[in-house]
Structure 1
Amino acid sequence: MRIWVDADACPNVIKDVLYKVAMRREVELTLVANIPLRVPASPLIDTIHVADGFDEADHEIARQAQSGDLVITADIPLADRIVDKGATGLNPRGELYTEDNIKGLLRMRNLMEELRSAGSVSGGPAPIGPKDKQEFTNQLDRFLTKALNR
């Protein structure tokens, strides 16, 4: 079991949680980004630097993630791809992406994108706050406890 991180858009506060959890729970953590990243020195934590380009990190994660892995991403199309492979997604606000909810979330995301492009909706999500960090941490802990006790 490995944790993959769509690191280009992942907030630093969430990355910090992931570093601590990877070392405490002894779980491999791979951050994928199109910019070089600085991560704590640990044999459990590594990075993959992909080429610049739209969705390059997403493509790499989708290619490498396996059934049972956890992918940290706010990108719903990426989450859809990895759930189809048997992995689970978790967004930085603590919402799990699973077989039970991903298709509905993808439809909602596509609708919102259409509304934004038509000018009917503007803006994006609020910055990650302490409540989001706590929900993420709680959901991550529940997932890992279940996955590592199998």
Structure 2
Amino acid sequence: MIKIYIDADACPVRNETLRVAERHRLETYIVSNGGMRHHENPQVHTVVVADGPDEADRWIADRIEPGDICVTGDIPLAARVIENGGTAIRHNGDTFTEANIGQQLATRDLMADLRASNPFMTGGGGKPFSKKDRSNFLNRLENMVQAARRR
């Protein structure tokens, strides 16, 4: 059975993900370092991991299986999800794939190096999250769930 994992720290599409999961009656895990309220749906599990960098990512990556879906903006987590046979989707609806994850990891590392070499860099942070991003996310997540069910 398909499961959905939400990398919940700073996730702007948690409610949208839960709507799709409830519609399809999918077991869902909301994983964070804390601050999440328990959900009344018995198929929605709130998981609070220990404080520390990447604890939520580690918990998800250790449990995801082929066919499962992970909602995350974290590129290294997405790489581990793909490696384990799952699928990963960003909050704006962009999907991580075997074909694009290597380039995304390389770009992430390059940008980290650039930021480290110039501590006075201004700007950045990317574009703001929009209604169109939310809509794209909902459409892509629905398509991912339907495709996983067909498999």
Report SS of the residue matched to 1:52: coil
Q: TM-score, normalised by structure 1?
A: 0.92
1:133 partnered with 2:138: no
Report SS of the residue matched to 1:131: helix
Contact 2:31–2:47 under 8 Å retained in 1: yes
User: Pairwise mapping of residues 63-78 of structure 1 onto structure 2 (< 5 A)?
Assistant: 63-78=62-77
Q: What's the offset of the Cα at 1:127? A: 2.8
* Structure 1 residue identity aligned to 2:11: C
After superposition, the Cα gap between the structure-2 partners of 1:127 and 1:40, relative to the gap in structure 1 and judged at 3 Å, is farther
Q: TM-score, normalised by structure 2?
A: 0.92
* Structure 1 residue identity aligned to 2:111: M
Residues matched between the structures, number: 148
* Structure 2 residue identity aligned to 1:32: V
Runs of 4+ in 1 over 4 A off after TM superposition: none
Q: Structure 2: which 5+ runs fail to align?
A: none
* Structure 2 residue identity aligned to 1:93: N
Contact 1:112–1:121 under 8 Å retained in 2: no
Q: What's the offset of the Cα at 1:77? A: 0.6
* Structure 1 residue identity aligned to 2:83: D
Report SS of the residue matched to 2:134: helix
Structure 2 CA distance for aligned equivalents of residues 49 and 19 of structure 1:
17
Report SS of the residue matched to 2:125: coil
Contact 2:39–2:46 under 8 Å retained in 1: no
* Structure 2 residue identity aligned to 1:127: P
Deviation sequence 1:122-147 (CA, Å, 0-9, x none): 42123311011011011101111111
Q: Structure 1: which 5+ runs fail to align?
A: none
User: Pairwise mapping of residues 20-59 of structure 1 onto structure 2 (< 5 A)?
Assistant: 20-59=19-58
